[in-house]
Structure 1
């Protein structure tokens, strides 16, 4: 019994933590994280200034016509066509958001709550396809609806994901039908 009392008497409490050093490290780490976020923001702004030659996005016309298709889902961003990692951030095209798409005879209306809405005129639509990825988002094959369109002199891919993935195939067919050049009398006397 005396040995237990001796062992208990010999034990000391743990050393007191050096709070000044610990607080210094925590503050230093928080400053480093803030600096990294600041650098990321500066990079985003720099990318936007590099893309400043992109014209303003078209506004939705007052009478866009009757809706052919409607979709709700997510907007995942826009990239330079064919370069799925070259994100376009100018004019808010890089901001992810919820989306309500409406396809009319006039074009594609993109309504984004909390972000900037835009309109893609029928003449600017080039094609649509199902793909697996766009800058910052990769899904299963065919998980994203990619709409290719022209804006200014730039060809753009915009990525959307429907709340109901089965309806994306109908969008591909409808947009590709709309963007197919009709037989016209172009180049002939009128």
Structure 2
């Protein structure tokens, strides 16, 4: 009998915690509902070669690594590849909508230790792209599968930014 009460109590606590998280996520989506839809992926990029394999972590408000963007699936973590093209950056995500960032909206790139949803032990474990969308500055985090790809990816994005300016 005590075991059944303990189990029921534990399940109730878990259900309340889940409900609280769901309510918080929906509130965040309501607060961010005014963010314009994302640019469509250009049809020419549909046949672009695969990029660097890794994990799309999340998009946050720039400078606030814990303020995850919940609308337009920007807060959904997923396995992805990141292709750097002349047109911009294309995150091809599995299980979530692809994210395209036009080259003229990319304002910076850096490596960092963390972004909402992921903190790494190494100080340069994530590639963080800063970009402008709908008058807001955003940071998007990506963790390459192979550590050696971090420098190459950062360099190609830096070159893309320099080529447009």
Give TM-score, length-normalised by structure 1: 0.79
Q: Which has the larger radius of gyration?
A: 1
Q: Contact between 1:67 and 1:103, CA under 8 Å: does it hold in 2?
A: no
Higher relative contact order (CA 8 A, sep 6+): 2
Judged with a 3 Å threshold, the aligned counterparts in structure 2 of structure 1 residues 179 and 68 are, in CA distance, closer, same or farther, namely farther
How big is each residue's C-alpha offset from its partner over 1:34-82, in whole Å with a ceiling of 9 and x where there is no partner? 0111111110111111111111111210113985882010011111111
Query: Which runs of no fewer than 5 residues in structure 1 stay unpaired?
Result: 1-18, 184-190
Cα RMSD, aligned residues only = 1.9
Instruction: Tell me how far apart the structure 2 counterparts of residues 152 and 31 of structure 1 sit (CA, whole Å).
Output: 41
1:2-21 equivalences under 5 Å are 19=1, 21=2
State the match for 1:170 in structure 2.
Answer: 152
1:46-61 equivalences under 5 Å are 46-61=27-42
Instruction: Tell me how far apart the structure 2 counterparts of residues 69 and 177 of structure 1 sit (CA, whole Å).
Output: 19
1:25-104 equivalences under 5 Å are 25-64=6-45, 70-104=51-85
* Alignment: residue pair count: 164
Instruction: Tell me how far apart the structure 1 counterparts of residues 128 and 38 of structure 2 sit (CA, whole Å).
Output: 18
State the match for 2:93 in structure 1.
Answer: 112
Instruction: For residue 97 of structure 2, give the secondary structure of its aligned residue in structure 1.
Output: coil
Instruction: For residue 156 of structure 2, give the secondary structure of its aligned residue in structure 1.
Output: helix
Give TM-score, length-normalised by structure 2: 0.91
Query: Which runs of no fewer than 5 residues in structure 2 stay unpaired?
Result: none
